[in-house]
Structure 1
Amino acid sequence: MGNIFSISASCDTVITRCCDCVAGQAQFVCKLEENVEALKIALAELTDLRNDVIRRVKIAEDQQQLKRLDQVQGWLSRAETLINGAHLLIEQSPQEIKKLCVGGCFSMSPKSNLKFGKQITKMLRDVVDHKSKGVFDKVAEEEPTPLVTERPTEHTVGLESTFDKAWSILEAEQVGIVGLYGMGGVGKTTLLNKINNKFCEPPNRFHVVIWIVVSKGFYIGKIQDDIAKRVGIADGTWQDKTPEEKALNIFRVLKEKKFVLLLDDIWERVDLSKVGIPLPTQKNGSKLVFTTRSIKVCGQMEAQKKIEVRCLPEEKAWELFQEKVGEETLDSNPCIRELAHELAKECGGLPLALVTIARAMACKNKVEEWKDAIEVCRRSSASVFPEMGEEVYPLLKFSFDSLPNDMFRTCLLYCSLFSEDYPIDKEKLIDFWIGEGFLDGHGNTSLARNQGHQMIGSLLHACLLEEINEFRIKMHDVIRDMSLWIACECEEEKWRFFVQAGYQLTKLPEVQNWGSIRRMSLMKNRIENLVEAPNCRDLQTLFLNGNQLKVINNDFFQFMCGLKVLNLSGNRGIEELPVGISKLVSLECLDLSYTGIRQLPIELKALEKLKCLNLEYSESTIRIPRQLISTFSKLQVLRMFRCYSLGQEVEDNSECLVEELKCLNHLNVLTVNTTSALGLDSLLRTERLCSCTLAIQLLLVKDSKRLNILSLANMKSLEFLDLGKSESLEEVEMEWGGLGRMIKAQSHIETSVIASKHCFQSLREVFIYECSKLKDITWLILAPNLRQFNVVDCNNMEEIINKRKLSQVAELVETLTLFGKLESLFLQYLPELKSIYWDTLPFSCLKEIYVHRCPKLKRLPLNSNSAKENKISIRGEKEWWKELQWEDECALNDFLPCFTGIHFPSHV
């Protein structure tokens, strides 16, 4: 009986479990519709949370330059997978729900419904569970500091043996501090560059290599700030710390690392303990290498090894001189090569002198010119240059004296007003030269600007200036030293400079004789208030840019009636100009770019001689009083890019600014914004304003779906186009006929412009962003000289050049080398981008490709021939690079060394 009872009980349990199982299985079917609805809600919540996390990550990466956490990236990747899977199930759910009957309790296809119901239930559980894991205190952190940052170097002559000696000393464990000394221009910085880059090569036993330019007049805080940035401790509270606190923080980090510290251009002892640098010893294995012009400084820095960087031996000096003069000039006359050899000897083997003098003689093909150059170098007196001795300044001054006339010499000296190693904007420099009256285009402002560019080109050719890129230049520190000696210390009445740029001044310096100064630079200091009114009636140029100005007293300009150029740019703290600025009745150039100025005072009307006014990139939109701009009847340059929009006066039912601009007969350069079709239309209807517009930011009105790019065709000088923040723009058209759906037909557009086909000959840069419906930018074919274009945050951008659209204007392509002048291509946050161009392109000028968050872009228009002309740097996510498709294995191998990962995963 017991056994029977036991069996019976077991059967009941089995039956109960079977019933539960059946009931449980039935739940997958009975609750299918309910679970689908629950999944939709959970999916929406997960999607919102995913978007919030992405937004936080984007801010951290783009604005704070941080790197997302791996756990955040893992969560986002899993969320993306779940969202895609859930969407797929929800799309399939209507078909499965149709198979249910009797209120969802029965199914006409139970096997299919059961399987689908299980999938829905599991997906619902996974989505809810994953959503609960998506709460993060932080989503990103600072990237690990790279071991070493490679620095650009040029081909060198004669430094090889010195480099080998320095490197072998650095490899010795017992040597911690090495000093490289030698006269200015001998090649110390070049040698330090080569040492820095040598650390890029494996194996490397150091944790970090830090490069810092010290220069004359340094202060501890700058070195501390540079080190903090390099090792990643310059957080938001860094600037609030005292020098002592900064030193402790730096010491705490560096004592745990085996570091290499490279200090360039030391003029006096740097107290390592005050900076926070642990003394390099054999025990900690760290190294300090510095360059200086004085062997005395080597002793002060306790260098264990001192290496003199000497001038080149005669053979190497002649090799360098020949290279820079050029064989064509040397062979232009049978006597010149011998004279050139003699002149090269006069340079004493100093590389900088060899290069500058060789450049100065590169176009001289008359024997008399070479003989005169030799005599000038021989006559140079050592006593004229007591600080640098007879070896340097007299030789460099030869190039200065060899300039065609005083105008060239003045323009060169003017560059020394900028702080050491400062990147000088060419266009701004020309504005200042115009303001000073250096450039005379005989009333033609366009000719004057061309003259300015020619002047810069001549100074570059003479190696007295160095080109950073197409838009910026700088002075070599030794050339600047020489220029300042001539401009500040020579007794010649015509120069009279006073320069204390980057000296960390907190107030105006005490100057013995303000009245004798003609040009003064106090840029890049910490001056906050200008209270006292200095008596400097002869002052013509005053640089106060890059300070911390907040207040300028009304009387400050009282005794500056002769001032022609005033540079206040980069003072974000200054919000208003004093009414006393009206005293500057001789002012011809006023630079207020990158300031906090909110409104121009009406008192500016007194500046009737004003030729150049720069308001660009202000902290807020600047209000301009009516009838102020038209007062400046001599105005040649007006820069208002990203500070004032033509849409402002449209809102007031007026087109007053454009009407005022029409009165400016000498206006030659205009940069402007517009936020309305009416504002742009009023600009385009004035042919003279179109012809002088160099840059325009076009922020289209919300209902603008189409833009005919040829409405801008009359802007013959347009160099920069900023097109963005248009959620409705769907199409950029190229219609030769009725121009303008966004802007009404422009009957004034010349047929000659249209016939020329390549309308945008001057266009160099294009920036397109936040045009969410735009699918292509094929119109770029109309800009044959385009150097750079950036496309950012265009969610529906599918291709850069559309094949069908290009075929419709096929006649343009016959003589056009697409992107033949392009140097930089920047693509970011383009989730639908699949193609730049469907075929390969030669890219003879391309230097850089940057791709970030373009997951569907699987091909670049490159092959092996694209790499022959020049080396192209490619930056992007490593995952994106791995998935790129190439024409063949050879192309991949050619470009593999060109790629650098930016550590941002592509799939989000």
Structure 2
Amino acid sequence: MDDEIFSIGIYGMGGVGKTTLATHVHNNLLKEAKFSGHVCWITVSQEANIHKLQKDIAKFLPVDLSCEDNDRKRAAQLFQALKRRRNFVLILDDVWTHFDLENVGIPLRVDGSKLIITSRSLDVCRAMGCQKEVKVKPLCYQEAWTLFLEKLGCCRPLPPDIEEIAKSMVKNCAGLPLGIITVSGSMKGTDDIHEWRDALEELEDPVARQDCEVFKILHYSYSRLRDQRLKDCFLYCSLYPEDCEIPRDELIASFIRERLIDKRRTRQAEFDQGHALLNKLENACLLEGVVKIKEDDTEAKYVKMHDLMRDMALKITKTKPKYLVKAGIWLRDVPDKSEWKEDLDKVSLRFNVVSSIPLGISPYCPKLSTLSLWGNELTSIPCSFFAHFGALQVLDLSCNRSLEEQPNCISELERLAALLELDLSDTKISDVPEGLERLVNLKCLNMVQTNLEMISEGIISKLSCLQSLGIPRQVSVQVEELESLKQLEEFIGGFPEANSFCRFVRSRQRFNRPSFYVIQVGSGLLKGLSGHFQQMASKRVVFSFTNVNPGGKKRANILPDDIQELEICACQGLGSCLNDTFAEFNTQARGLTHCLIEGSSEIRSLLKLSSSEDQFVIKGQNSACAPLQNLKHLRLICLSNFNGLFEWDSVANAIPPPSTFSCLRSLFIDRCGKLKKLFTPRLLQSVQSLEVLKVWGCNELEEIVSNDEEGYFSFTSSSKDSCSRSTISCLPNLKKLAVLGDPKLRNICKGLLICNSIERIEVISCRNLESLPPFLPSINGQPSAPPALKVIQISLLGWESLKWENPYMKKILQPFVRYGEF
């Protein structure tokens, strides 16, 4: 065991094997001489009782506490007794709530002493001060199958028909060892195919499953939640299909509109609360966090319900609150009328293939608050269907891509007067629902990615309660109508040209709303805007196929002063750089975190800078704020005249202003035809946070890190500063380096490049590459592989043609090489 670690927390959902893992550790420790007789196992169980804990520990030592009733004095006796022991290991199993170890009398950081706790909650482990946290996850299928066979105790292979049934049983246990052991134990010695089929039938029966021991264990985790908000949010996740990875922002937006979380002063504060609640559910192992890396190397965060957790949630919602959930099961017809109970609260029929709702069907659900038909194949909806949904607050018809006729009954206000949210996004509706303006309680209206061509003037302004509004990019909305929506917090929409967009920006400056926005200026398809308000935690502007500065006047356009994401795609009217394009760019882009520029022959550099004796400033602007100091992700694509990140008026030992690019994590440069050198050693100092660097299809690129400043910048003076061959450059956080289709690339870096975090190097179709940088750390004067390196992707010809300053380097790196051009 690591001498520097004094306390370890083992956590995971109920039945996942935490106690089994701790038992394995316990038994192994007993075999070690120095721990023999010094390993104490205490089962804490549901309610931590200090008096009982002290009694159990005293019994192990042994120490007589029978004459002392004062907990503090008992703790002092235990503390001294354990301190004298040294080399003791105390295992506290099944800890539900944290408690003060000192109040019990458990010393920490005593020479050789260790504390191990098991809990279903990460929060408990952290509150108990665990230095190391170990999450026990459900078994993968192959591990689960191996455990099943082991516990079945069968010495010969199962007959094919029984094996098929057994594998279905294992899948139903969803990787939980407790369930696998229980099921396999019950089938031990059984060879009758009828018994196996009957057992599988019972295992797949939702009613029978709910009485099993595993369900009771999982339910207790839910019942232990003290905060009703946590319970409500957990149950809401069951409305999504099985195994669904739910985007966190989408889910939190749903929590807000369903009023499952507390009202806060700002939308951002409500999102913060939502993230905090999801973190608590993840830490309690009721939800599983999932992180995916998108194409642009940014993270997308999701949550997922374990299958048995979802089954447990569906059981709970059969009573109160009452849900009807048939999501993701390829349902072709809406449920029979008998399933639409009078006391239903929420109905989810999302992600099915329902194409029609029969005429005349009119379920009586006067308490129904939420109805989701997201992701079906509906073409129309009969008016009678909504006749008895008088309490309906959320109606989600999004992603029905064949839906052309809106439900005209929306105009019958006596039926849907309580409606707070209407989502018609990603459908084919071409007309605004008749009577929409009379839904005066509506707070959220989403019509993004529909076939609407116009919204009559005055309709939007009559929906005075709107907090969230999404309209298709091709529909122009008057800025004055948006100004009239005094509660508007979120807006997705478009403006046909830059002048109307500038009016919107000035309006925001006056009224300080909406707080969040996704705006497209110009034409073209705006990516990433499908059903729900998934983007509504954003502050994003996209210029697409438009003239950014109409009339030929440079720097006439302005940006919102809190913009976080900027995209410029196939536009005209750009300057040679961003601060030649937008007025006061440095001030306005202070919070910019994502930037994409694509398809321009005008952009030559990202920023134009001026140098003086004491400081560097953005050309034409006087600001003490470093440019792009919060930028995290930068993508530059198809910029035919781009030749460098910065352009200077004059250069003398040029280095960008402090903090420029200090947060940059990913840089992607693709098909920038005039770029010859990307970084100099001095410029490299500004990108110390860089984690991913990709340079693709740059036909003139010769070096990633140049040895000198000359030729990198455009400048008016002739001064230059050359660095020696022994230049040492550092990218301490770089994890991935990819160069692809750069035919003139000779070197990545001639000097020493220190990047101990590098995990993956990809070199594809770079036929003139002479060498890899000598980035190897040194041990006893000899090069060694970077500690995090996992793979080098390169062709066999490319690998064999590389030159090495130290021949030993090739031998060191060879085990990491994977040949291929894919």
TM-score class normalised by the smaller sequence: 0.5 to 0.7
Assess, with a 3 A threshold, how the Cα gap between structure 1 residues 761 and 836 changes in structure 2: closer, same or farther: same
1:390-420, Cα deviation, whole Å (9 max, x unpaired): 6534444444334341112111221221223
Q: Is the 8 A contact 1:764 1:788 kept in 2?
A: yes
- Find the aligned partners of 1:902 and 1:497 in 2 and give their Cα distance: 56
Which of 519, 523, 527 is matched with 2:346 structurally? 519
- Find the aligned partners of 2:767 and 2:252 in 1 and give their Cα distance: 40
Alignment pair present for 1:500 and 2:326: yes
Which of 835, 855, 869 is matched with 2:699 structurally? 855
Deviation at 1:884, TM superposition (A): 4.2
Equivalence map 1:282-297=2 (5 Å): none
Deviation at 1:799, TM superposition (A): 2.3
Instruction: Show the counterpart of 2:23.
Output: 314
Equivalence map 1:59-458=2 (5 Å): 186=16, 312=21, 314-316=23-25, 341-343=92-94, 357-364=120-127, 387=209, 392-442=214-264, 444-458=266-280
Which of 822, 826, 830 is matched with 2:668 structurally? 826
Assess, with a 3 A threshold, how the Cα gap between structure 1 residues 762 and 458 changes in structure 2: closer, same or farther: farther
Q: What secondary structure does 2:383 align onto? A: coil
Alignment pair present for 1:869 and 2:698: no
Q: Is the 8 A contact 2:700 2:742 kept in 1?
A: no
The one-letter code of the counterpart of 2:547 is: V
Q: Is the 8 A contact 1:522 1:543 kept in 2?
A: yes
1:509-529, Cα deviation, whole Å (9 max, x unpaired): 226341232122222111122
Assess, with a 3 A threshold, how the Cα gap between structure 1 residues 639 and 799 changes in structure 2: closer, same or farther: farther
Q: Is the 8 A contact 2:645 2:678 kept in 1?
A: yes
Which of 558, 573, 576 is matched with 1:711 structurally? 558
The one-letter code of the counterpart of 2:433 is: P
Equivalence map 1:553-568=2 (5 Å): 553-568=382-397
Instruction: Show the counterpart of 2:547.
Output: 701
Instruction: Show the counterpart of 2:790.
Output: none
Which of 419, 434, 447 is matched with 1:615 structurally? 447
- Find the aligned partners of 2:313 and 2:382 in 1 and give their Cα distance: 30
Q: How many equivalent pairs are there?
A: 540
Assess, with a 3 A threshold, how the Cα gap between structure 1 residues 731 and 485 changes in structure 2: closer, same or farther: same
Deviation at 1:468, TM superposition (A): 2.0
1:32-57, Cα deviation, whole Å (9 max, x unpaired): xxxxxxxxxxxxxxxxxxxxxxxxxx
- Find the aligned partners of 2:366 and 2:651 in 1 and give their Cα distance: 62
Alignment pair present for 1:796 and 2:618: no
Which of 727, 730, 734 is matched with 2:572 structurally? 727
- Once the two structures are overlaid, the 10-residue window that deviates more, 898-907 or 782-791, is 898-907
Deviation at 1:833, TM superposition (A): 3.1
Q: Is the 8 A contact 1:597 1:622 kept in 2?
A: no
Equivalence map 1:453-492=2 (5 Å): 453-463=275-285, 464-469=287-292, 470-478=299-307, 480-489=309-318, 491=319
Q: Is the 8 A contact 2:733 2:755 kept in 1?
A: no
- Find the aligned partners of 2:650 and 2:244 in 1 and give their Cα distance: 45
Assess, with a 3 A threshold, how the Cα gap between structure 1 residues 596 and 389 changes in structure 2: closer, same or farther: same
Q: Is the 8 A contact 2:322 2:345 kept in 1?
A: yes
Which of 407, 413, 417 is matched with 1:578 structurally? 407
Deviation at 1:659, TM superposition (A): 0.6
Q: Is the 8 A contact 1:419 1:502 kept in 2?
A: yes
Give percent identity, aligned residues only: 22
- Find the aligned partners of 1:479 and 1:842 in 2 and give their Cα distance: 49
- Find the aligned partners of 2:248 and 2:649 in 1 and give their Cα distance: 40
Higher strand fraction (1 or 2): 2
Assess, with a 3 A threshold, how the Cα gap between structure 1 residues 896 and 559 changes in structure 2: closer, same or farther: closer
Q: What secondary structure does 1:856 align onto? A: coil
Assess, with a 3 A threshold, how the Cα gap between structure 1 residues 759 and 702 changes in structure 2: closer, same or farther: closer
Q: Is the 8 A contact 1:724 1:770 kept in 2?
A: yes
Higher helix fraction (1 or 2): 1
Instruction: Show the counterpart of 1:303.
Output: none
- The two structures have a TM-score, normalised by structure 2, of 0.56
Deviation at 1:660, TM superposition (A): 0.9
Q: What secondary structure does 1:629 align onto? A: helix
- Find the aligned partners of 1:471 and 1:421 in 2 and give their Cα distance: 17
Which of 594, 598, 621 is matched with 1:765 structurally? 594
Assess, with a 3 A threshold, how the Cα gap between structure 1 residues 857 and 546 changes in structure 2: closer, same or farther: farther
> Which of these two proteins has the greater Rg computed from alpha carbons?
1
Q: What secondary structure does 1:468 align onto? A: strand
Alignment pair present for 1:636 and 2:479: no
1:876-896, Cα deviation, whole Å (9 max, x unpaired): 426659744214466699858
- Find the aligned partners of 2:435 and 2:635 in 1 and give their Cα distance: 40
Alignment pair present for 1:785 and 2:630: yes
- Find the aligned partners of 1:904 and 1:631 in 2 and give their Cα distance: 64
Instruction: Show the counterpart of 1:679.
Output: 500
Alignment pair present for 1:899 and 2:730: no
Q: What secondary structure does 2:274 align onto? A: helix
Assess, with a 3 A threshold, how the Cα gap between structure 1 residues 639 and 534 changes in structure 2: closer, same or farther: same
Assess, with a 3 A threshold, how the Cα gap between structure 1 residues 681 and 833 changes in structure 2: closer, same or farther: same
Equivalence map 1:539-550=2 (5 Å): 539-550=368-379
- Find the aligned partners of 1:713 and 1:805 in 2 and give their Cα distance: 31
Deviation at 1:477, TM superposition (A): 2.1
- Find the aligned partners of 2:760 and 2:696 in 1 and give their Cα distance: 19
Deviation at 1:506, TM superposition (A): 1.5
Deviation at 1:466, TM superposition (A): 0.7
- Find the aligned partners of 2:125 and 2:652 in 1 and give their Cα distance: 48
Which of 437, 457, 460 is matched with 1:626 structurally? 457
Deviation at 1:683, TM superposition (A): 0.5
Structure 1 segments unaligned to the other structure (5+ residues): 1-155, 159-182, 188-308, 323-329, 347-353, 367-381, 650-655, 742-748
1:833-862, Cα deviation, whole Å (9 max, x unpaired): 334443325756544434332222344369
Assess, with a 3 A threshold, how the Cα gap between structure 1 residues 864 and 598 changes in structure 2: closer, same or farther: farther
- The two structures have a TM-score, normalised by structure 1, of 0.52
- Find the aligned partners of 1:806 and 1:595 in 2 and give their Cα distance: 55
Deviation at 1:634, TM superposition (A): 1.8
1:350-389, Cα deviation, whole Å (9 max, x unpaired): xxxx9871314135459xxxxxxxxxxxxxxx99995267
1:721-749, Cα deviation, whole Å (9 max, x unpaired): 222221342334538xxx967xxxxxxx9
Q: What secondary structure does 2:229 align onto? A: helix
Q: What secondary structure does 1:562 align onto? A: coil
1:119-163, Cα deviation, whole Å (9 max, x unpaired): xxxxxxxxxxxxxxxxxxxxxxxxxxxxxxxxxxxxx999xxxxx
- Find the aligned partners of 1:479 and 1:733 in 2 and give their Cα distance: 52
1:582-633, Cα deviation, whole Å (9 max, x unpaired): 44322222333333333322422232222223333x1556532222222222
- Find the aligned partners of 1:809 and 1:589 in 2 and give their Cα distance: 55
- Find the aligned partners of 1:481 and 1:730 in 2 and give their Cα distance: 54
Deviation at 1:504, TM superposition (A): 0.8
Q: What secondary structure does 2:540 align onto? A: strand
Q: CA RMSD in A?
A: 4.7
Assess, with a 3 A threshold, how the Cα gap between structure 1 residues 311 and 452 changes in structure 2: closer, same or farther: same
Q: Is the 8 A contact 2:122 2:284 kept in 1?
A: yes
Q: Is the 8 A contact 1:707 1:731 kept in 2?
A: no
Assess, with a 3 A threshold, how the Cα gap between structure 1 residues 511 and 861 changes in structure 2: closer, same or farther: farther
